[in-house]
Structure 1
Amino acid sequence: MGVFTHEMEATSPVPTARLFKAFVLDSDTLFPKVAPYAIKGVEYLQGSGGPGSIRKVNFAEGWGFEYLKEKVDDIDQDNLLYTYTVIESDLFNNIIEKINYEIKFIEAPNGGTICKITTKFYSVGDIEINEEAIKDSLQKRAQVFKAVEEYLLANPDS
């Protein structure tokens, strides 16, 4: 199995605790609401959102893939750290075995948030992962991030 690691930082003017809550604790209902062009819905196959839970994310038609199943590895509210693993998706095409995400929410000096995101793509066997496909997936993820951020900024009381 090969591993391709991608690290990035995303900044947001949204306060850290609020952004963590939106992206981790409320994502099941918030993502389909603010990005229906991307996410059709989320359903739990096991658990109710805590560590060990498995959920299926269904994507909107034309998004490029139909679904993914992810397992929540850890939600550390004290340290604002969220880790989960995508364990199945029609995106994989027998090339990717799993994708592991670690997202750390850090308070920025201006009162906003810095999100440090480490993504590890695990390939099936010795297959090389196409970097263009990864970039496309990460760009789609960034679109949803922006939609959530815009919603939070436009609705400070939500």
Structure 2
Amino acid sequence: MASTKSWAHEIEASVAAPRLFRAGVMDWHTLAPKLAPQVVASAHPVEGEGGVGSVRQFNFTSAMPFSVVKERLDFLDADGCECRSTLLEGGHVGTVIETSTSCIKVEPAAGGGSVVKVESTYKLLPGVEEGEYEVAKAKESVTAIFKAAEAYLIANPDAYN
């Protein structure tokens, strides 16, 4: 029987938490195709206006092992720079995992920077071995997202203020 698993990851950044949260989480569907076109071909809202219940879709290039991901925003505290989302389809849903949720909190750090705290909880499909769901690859991908957003914000100091 498949069990629920989770992983946690922290990423340090040199930009303020509210800016990084807005760029790297709330508006990532707009920035990703511009900042990581080698990975994200396109992205767009599917339903909603960005609040709880909203769904957005990311379409990937051949650099990813899957072509699409749809995620739903389940919880949002924009002032507290925290959200939780559920993977609805795409990714490894239906092939490796049954369900997956991610919680992201961006907290202020010393010197005006921030720390991104990510926790992902997932349930493997019956018969799938733990190694088939690559936690290291997932952590690498989330780090790349926030490092790309950080670099963009450093290069564009007036963005997302």
- Do the two structures share a fold, i.e. TM-score over 0.5? yes
* RMSD over aligned Cα atoms: 1.8
Name the structure 2 match of 1:127.
128
* Length-normalised TM-score, structure 1: 0.89
| Alignment check: 8 A CA contact 1:2 1:128 kept | no
**What are structure 2's unaligned runs of at least 5 residues?**
none
2-side partners of 1:21 and 1:49: how far apart? 11
Check if 1:102 corresponds to 2:103: yes
Partner AA of 1:50 in structure 2: G
2-side partners of 1:90 and 1:28: how far apart? 16
SS of 1:79's partner is coil
| Alignment check: 8 A CA contact 1:38 1:144 kept | no
Name the structure 1 match of 2:64.
63
Partner AA of 2:145 in structure 1: V
Structure 2 matches for 1:17-56, cutoff 5 A?
Answer: 17-56=18-57
Deviations 1:79-133, CA, capped at 9 Å, x for gaps: 2111101121143352201211111111102210011111112112363332662
2-side partners of 1:90 and 1:80: how far apart? 25
Q: Equivalent pairs: percent with the same residue?
A: 32
1-side partners of 2:97 and 2:115: how far apart? 28
| Alignment check: 8 A CA contact 2:98 2:124 kept | yes
Q: What's the CA shift for 1:61?
A: 2.3
* Length-normalised TM-score, structure 2: 0.88
Name the structure 2 match of 1:2.
3
Q: What's the CA shift for 1:138?
A: 2.3
Does 23-32 or 132-141 show the bigger shift?
Answer: 132-141
| Number of residue pairs the alignment of both structures matches | 158
Structure 2 matches for 1:67-146, cutoff 5 A?
Answer: 67-92=68-93, 94-125=95-126, 127-130=128-131, 133-146=134-147
Partner AA of 1:102 in structure 2: C
SS of 2:92's partner is coil
Deviations 1:5-27, CA, capped at 9 Å, x for gaps: 10111110011111111122221
Partner AA of 1:139 in structure 2: E
Structure 1 outlier segments of 4+, above 4 Å: none
SS of 1:21's partner is helix
1-side partners of 2:28 and 2:91: how far apart? 21
**What are structure 1's unaligned runs of at least 5 residues?**
none
Deviations 1:32-75, CA, capped at 9 Å, x for gaps: 11111111111222222211112211012222221111111111
